[in-house]
């Protein structure tokens, strides 16, 4: 059974600080990892993708992957009130005949002005 686990929050972070979102997954052969942002009442939108161990940076966002620990994280630097949303972690298995991406239940992030 594939599982993706996230702390549901809410995670409250002061404006300008670094927000750190974490995700663990159960399947050791997972190859592709994604972070989606979802505003209330809206559809998920892709923020970051990461495929190999280490860090990947895109503007204020950094994704970190550690396959040995089955752990992927998202850092948001200089947090803004507009970053307040639910962040979904999604994981797939390379070559699997199954089920598309498996999503975590999401972490609700609140940036306090």
Partner 1 sequence: NAGVTQTPKFQVLKTGQSMTLQCAQDMNHNSMYWYRQDPGMGLRLIYYSASEGTTDKGEVPNGYNVSRLNKREFSLRLESAAPSQTSVYFCASSLDKDEKLFFGSGTQLSVL
Q: Which stretches of the chain bind partner 1, using CB under 8 A? A: 32, 34, 36, 42-46, 49, 88, 90, 92-94, 96, 99-106
Q: CB 33 → partner 1: shortest distance, Å?
A: 10
User: Which H/E stretch holds residue 71?
Assistant: strand 71-76
Calpha distance 78→53 (Å, rounded): 24
Q: CB 93 → partner 1: shortest distance, Å?
A: 7
Calpha distance 108→113 (Å, rounded): 16
If the CB atoms of residues 25 and 36 are measured against partner 1, the closer one turns out to be 36
């Amino acid at each position: 059974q594939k599982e993706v686990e996230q702390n549901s929050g809410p995670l409250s972070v002061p404006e300008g600080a670094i927000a750190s979102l974490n995700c663990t997954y159960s399947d050791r052969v997972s190859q592709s990892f994604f972070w989606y942002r979802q505003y209330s009442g809206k559809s998920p939108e892709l923020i970051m993708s990461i495929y190999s161990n280490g860090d990947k940076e895109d503007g204020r966002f950094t994704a970190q992957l550690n396959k040995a620990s089955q752990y992927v994280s998202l850092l948001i630097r200089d947090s803004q009130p507009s970053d307040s949303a639910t962040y979904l972690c999604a994981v797939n298995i390379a070559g699997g005949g199954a089920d598309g991406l498996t999503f975590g239940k999401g972490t609700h992030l609140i940036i306090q002005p």
